[in-house]
Amino acid sequence: MKPIRKLAFVVNEEKPGAAELARTLMAVARQAGVKVKLTARFPVTHGFLRGLDACCVIGGDGTLLGVAHEAVREGVPVIGVNRGSLGFLTTFSADEARAHFGDLLLGAYKIAHRSMLDCSTGTGPHDVALNDVLIKNQVNSRLVRLEVVADGELVTDYFCDGLIFSTPTGSTAYNLSAGGPLIHPGAEVIAMTPICPHTLSNRTIIFRENVLLRVFNRSDDSKLLVALDGQRNLKVGIGSPVAISISKLKLSLVQRPNYSHFAVVRTKLNWDGGAAGARKSGS
The catalytic site residues sit at 61
- What CA dihedral angle connects 140, 121, 62 and 99, to 10 degrees? 160
Phi/psi-derived region of residue 48, left when phi > 0, alpha when psi is between -120 and 50, beta in every other case: alpha
Detail the DSSP E strand segments found in 98-198: 110-121, 127-129, 132-137, 144-150, 153-160, 162-166, 190-195
CB hemisphere CA count around 209 (13 angstroms): 9
Three-class DSSP category at 131: coil
Q: What does DSSP assign to residue 172?
A: G
Contacts of 74 (CB under 8 A, 6+ apart): 49, 50, 52
